[in-house]
Amino acid sequence: MAGEQEGEAPVFSIAAVADIQYADTDPRGAREPREGIARIKNAISHWNKRDLDWGVVLGDIIDWDDIDYGKFPKETIAIEPKRWQHTRDILAAWNTLNVPNYKVLGNHDYYVPYKDADGLSKPASVFRAFGFKDKAYYEFSHKGYRFIVLDGDMSHLNYDIESKEYKEAKAHYDSLKGPARGIWSAGISIKQMDWLKGVLADALNKKEPTVIMCHYPMHKPYGSHTLFNAVEMTTLLNQFPNVVMWLNGHNHSGGYANIEGRHHLNLKGMQNEAENWYQIDFSPESITIYQAEDLKTPKFELELSWPPKENPEK
């Protein structure tokens, strides 16, 4: 916890985890979906003893729910009755965190039937199940920082197959070329990008260092896990020097890149290793990341390049 670290104390600390991917099902190869609840409960048992302000799960909270996963994504066959049991069980575990928590949706969180038991279609059925009202992107300020949560809403797997949104997203996916054409990835819609521009402009005007939390990585080298419109997003973010970090999951192996002074950190997935859970400390000058129980040896110590340092008077 913050009090155990040497040097300047952080302004605040948070809990962070990515890709729990829980489902009450047998292992698939090296994946152990059923272990998700035990793993997150273990992490929370430690987080709850620390001085944290809040926590975030960076998407892929579930592995799937209420579908025949063996036939997905070619066929989305619902298993009756639709109960959202995997979702309800993992959220019950996540909600034992004793500080406020935030959720980012990932691709697996949309691996559910096209329609809910009462006829509500994706994505609205997903929003309801995970506690959102009418969208899964939002923003908030905390102790001098601005935090922005994005939703990969440009994927045909997010929508009812009968909807125009499905058809538009499928046409976009079919048009993609190159290595960044992973069926399990997504993009950010034009509507959400327009909203993002407004939030970034407001944060810049208020001189707030800004952290974007999204399930999908956008840094090079581009591959099948990359955000579909990473090039457009990079162009946008480069206009806002106050964006100090892009924090994501999705690629379970993790990764790091620096783009024009902006830190891009891909946390390793808990589905792969039980010890892939983190504490992130924020100060005006730096962001420090610790993994699991080790609070003495940072995994990353990231200096902020914003706000620009003023030249001393001569």
Of the listed ranges 57-71, 116-130, 206-220, 298-312, the least confidently predicted one is 298-312
C-beta atoms surrounding 296 within 10 Å: 9
**pLDDT tens, residue by residue, 231-261:** 999 999 999 999 999 999 999 999 999 999 9
Rounded to the nearest angstrom, the gap between the alpha carbon of residue 96 and the centroid of all alpha carbons in its chain is: 19
pLDDT above 70 for 1:
no
Amino acid at 305: S
Instruction: For residues 93 and 95, give the distance between their C-alpha atoms in angstroms, rounded to a whole number.
Output: 5
Amino acid at 280: I
Instruction: For residues 227 and 214, give the distance between their C-alpha atoms in angstroms, rounded to a whole number.
Output: 9
Please state the three-class secondary structure of 79-139 as a single string: CCCCCCHHHHHHHHHHCCCCCCEEECCCHHHHCCCCECCCCCECCHHHHHHCCCCCCCCEE
pLDDT above 60 for 74:
yes
Instruction: For residues 36 and 25, give the distance between their C-alpha atoms in angstroms, rounded to a whole number.
Output: 11
Sheet holding 243-248, edge to edge: 138-142, 145-149, 210-213, 243-248, 262-266, 255-259
Tokens of 23: 């489902």
**pLDDT tens, residue by residue, 185-205:** 999 999 999 999 999 999 999
pLDDT of residue 5: 43
Do the beta carbons of residue 110 and residue 123 sit within 8 Å?
yes
User: What mean pLDDT comes out for the span 122-141?
Assistant: 98
pLDDT of residue 309: 75
**In angstroms, how far is the first alpha carbon of the chain from the final one?**
41
pLDDT of residue 4: 39
Tokens of 293: 């129980």
What pTM was computed for the model? 0.95
pLDDT above 50 for 6:
no
Confidence grade of residue 308 (pLDDT, cut at 50, 70, 90) = confident
Domain architecture of the chain: domains with CATH: 10-303 (3.60.21.10)
Q: What is the dihedral of CA 182, 223, 263, 49, to 10 degrees?
A: 50
Tokens of 284: 């005006």
The Cβ-side half-sphere exposure at 197, using a 13 Å CA radius, reads 11
Q: Which helix H or strand E contains 194, and what residues bound it?
A: helix 190-205
User: What mean pLDDT comes out for the span 284-291?
Assistant: 97
Confidence grade of residue 24 (pLDDT, cut at 50, 70, 90) = very high
